[in-house]
Structure 1
Amino acid sequence: MYKKIFFTLLVFSTSIMMQAQENLGFGQRKEIISPEIHADNSVTFRLLAPLADSVSVTGDFAQGHNKMTKDADGVWSFTTRTLPSELYTYAFTANGLQMNDPNNVHYRRDVASTLNVLLVGGGQADIYKVNNVPHGTVAKRWYESPGNKTDRRITIYTPPGYESGNTSYPVLYLLHGMGGDEEAWPTLGRATQIIDNLIAEGKAKPMIIVMPNGNVAQEAAPGESSEGFYKPTFRLPNTMDGKYEETFIDIINFVDKNYRTVRNKSGRAIAGLSMGGFHSFHISRYYPNSFDYVGLFSAAIMPNENAKSSVYKNIEDTLLKQKQNGYKLYWIGIGKDDFLYQANTDFRKKLDGINFKYAYRESEGGHTWRNWRVYLSEFLPLLFNQ
């Protein structure tokens, strides 16, 4: 075990030093390109690790560990099959220890893990790119939350032209899943690129997108608050216990006070993935006359049996009230292999039983960002058009 650790650290430090020398002009080795996306959309990964016994690459482009082969210069490589257009994450494993690709500076944090990213274009992922179109503004704001007795951080997107105009815009409240925070949708979800591109193509209405932190135990994302640089954890205090739903009105009040918004339910949408879908479901019926558009992406549905908040009482009655008040779109998306598939099936039966109309999108795959990015790109064009 100690040998593996020693070799892996040595491999990593050697790679970094070689790159540093090359960047300074002292290195004589050929530059290592990783990842390299080929014309046929296959991808080659490379890692300089001359002392490693084994190296593999894992990612959402394939299942399991993909063994890499070493050449005479100590460079390990692996080439994938032709890949569908998508935003992919990956990591290397050298001598049993996972590491990032030292030749790829692009990565994303997902809870406590950091993974490299690459984008294969020519299809769905083109909407995830920063394209040559007008861009909106992404602001990291702090708002007062009287319900939580603290200031909290929030990410807010305003559409192109917002600062120079006087138009009032509709608002989408876009919520993350468990373990996420106000950084999740802009980074892993590519939400701002998606909306920029859809607006430019005339497929979505210009709108404000509000991406809050759904963990009331946090002021902000790890490293962005007075708590400092602590290790993120998956489940935090007050997770899905009703506190977030109870205090969500603080977010709406802040946005309506500080931005030019359409301040009625025809100008409000709420959507989220997993825990964020759970929050969207319960917030939209707890405030049953506040949102004309609701999106549940791979949503958790029913509260834990230990959750005693009044938010989770009279669920069917509040759904009936929401139906009575009227709404324009109730959108549900779920993957066939998602562990929440059955919960969503049962929920749809409940909605059918009270004649609560909804749109349903069933996709391949499971509980993944690949699905959630697609759901968002399909949901946004449906908003504020009716």
Structure 2
Amino acid sequence: MKRITLLIVLLWQVCLAFAQWGPQSKVESHTFHSKVLGSDREYTIYFPKSYAVEQDRKYPILYLLHGMSDTDKAWFWRGHAGEVMDQLVASGEAVEMIIVSPNAGGSFDEGHWNGYFDMPGWKYETFFYTEFLPYIESTYRIIGDKAHRAVAGLSMGGGGATSYGQKHTELFSSVYAISALMTIPQRGAAQPSKPGDKLAILTQSVIDNSCVKYVEEADDERKKQLRSVNWFVDCGDDDFLLDRNIEFFQAMRRLQIPCEFRVRDGGHTWEYFHSALYTCLPFVSRNFGKVIP
């Protein structure tokens, strides 16, 4: 009898503990085939705690872009984006959202392409808009409008996020650029070491898609479009890309396009990228559901 009573008590305690813990957030990695790129492409996706239990609920989404030579897993393995998201939701500083990071990189030594733009042999931007975004938003329970969609990224991904927000103001409510590769001066461009040099091709694509030049060349219609997005630029005072981020902010300021700009202590490191999430996730949360006229 004592053993039965003890077993009942233990089972009750387990049930209580489970009730206190409740559902947990999840981070998963998946693969699907891209016809545009002619290869299987990976992505890593974060689901908030309520996703598994609130079956009729749809969520805002943040597309979180990684940096050069990294992959879709970097933001979650090295940047701990899932853990930060859980902390901020628990504290009320961020709303529940889905976060997805697509793979646009890998080691150059292993022959991988890098970059978020269309370039010879790598039509990644076409892939993102014609395959990846539609696939994600039809596969998972996502609200799927401008007011509930944001894009952010670091370094190469920061420049990619900024450019995506510039070219597709109708799709994103906010853009958060971390230590962003906004442009590359022609004099600093990597020179091809051999035909098909992937680093040189990537470098030229950044020059061709300069985020600074896009602002500087804006006409009245483009200015209006850019003002419909909430912009935030975040770069360390020891970052080698700081001048490029300053140039972008100055271009936005000259055209009176609102853009928050923060220079914090730090360099081009994961310590800095990780810390930026504590500002990035509340920023995109505040702007979900809001449409700038």
Q: How does 1:302-317 map to 2 (within 5 A)?
A: 302=183, 305=186, 307=204, 312=209, 315-316=214-215
Q: Residue 160 in 1 paired to residue 49 in 2?
A: yes
Partner of 1:148: 37
Alignment RMSD (CA, Å): 2.7
The structure with higher relative contact order (CA 8 Å, sep 6+) is: 2
* CA distance in 2 between partners of 1:198 and 1:180 (Å): 25
What per-residue deviation string (whole Å, max 9, x for no partner) do you get for residues 157-185 of structure 1? 11112022111100000111111001100
Q: 1:237 to 1:156 in 2, by over 3 A?
A: closer
Q: Secondary structure at the match of 1:214?
A: coil
Displacement, 1:323?
A: 4.5
Residue 267 of structure 1 aligns with an amino acid whose one-letter code is H
* CA distance in 1 between partners of 2:96 and 2:222 (Å): 26
Partner of 2:126: 246
Range moving further from structure 2, 186-195 or 354-363? 354-363
Range moving further from structure 2, 195-204 or 292-301? 195-204
Displacement, 1:355?
A: 1.2
What per-residue deviation string (whole Å, max 9, x for no partner) do you get for residues 70-106 of structure 1? xxxxxxxxxxxxxxxxxxxxxxxxxxxxxxxxxxxxx
Residue 269 of structure 2 aligns with an amino acid whose one-letter code is T
Q: How does 1:15-30 map to 2 (within 5 A)?
A: none
Q: How does 1:333-344 map to 2 (within 5 A)?
A: 333-344=234-245
Radius of gyration: which is bigger? Answer: 1
Q: Residue 178 in 1 paired to residue 68 in 2?
A: yes
The number of aligned residues is 241
Which residue of 100, 108, 133 corresponds with 1:210?
A: 100
Partner of 2:172: 291
Residue 198 of structure 1 aligns with an amino acid whose one-letter code is L
What per-residue deviation string (whole Å, max 9, x for no partner) do you get for residues 232-269 of structure 1? 73984454653333321122111111011111111111
Displacement, 1:308?
A: 5.9
What per-residue deviation string (whole Å, max 9, x for no partner) do you get for residues 280-319 of structure 1? 1111122221101101100011157563699728723569
Which residue of 368, 373, 377 corresponds with 2:278?
A: 377
Which residue of 344, 348, 359 corresponds with 2:249?
A: 348
Q: 1:239 to 1:256 in 2, by over 3 A?
A: closer
**8 A contact 1:142–1:151 mirrored in 2:** yes
Partner of 1:233: 109
Displacement, 1:333?
A: 0.4
- Higher percent of residues as strand: 1
Q: Residue 324 in 1 paired to residue 200 in 2?
A: no
Partner of 1:52: none
**8 A contact 2:183–2:206 mirrored in 1:** no
* CA distance in 2 between partners of 1:362 and 1:201 (Å): 25
Partner of 1:190: 80
What per-residue deviation string (whole Å, max 9, x for no partner) do you get for residues 211-247 of structure 1? 11122xxxxx6xxxxxxxxx77398445465333332
Q: Residue 269 in 1 paired to residue 150 in 2?
A: yes
Structure 1: 5+ residue stretches without partners: 1-131, 216-220, 222-230
Partner of 1:96: none
User: TM-score normalized by structure 1?
Assistant: 0.57
Q: 1:181 to 1:361 in 2, by over 3 A?
A: same
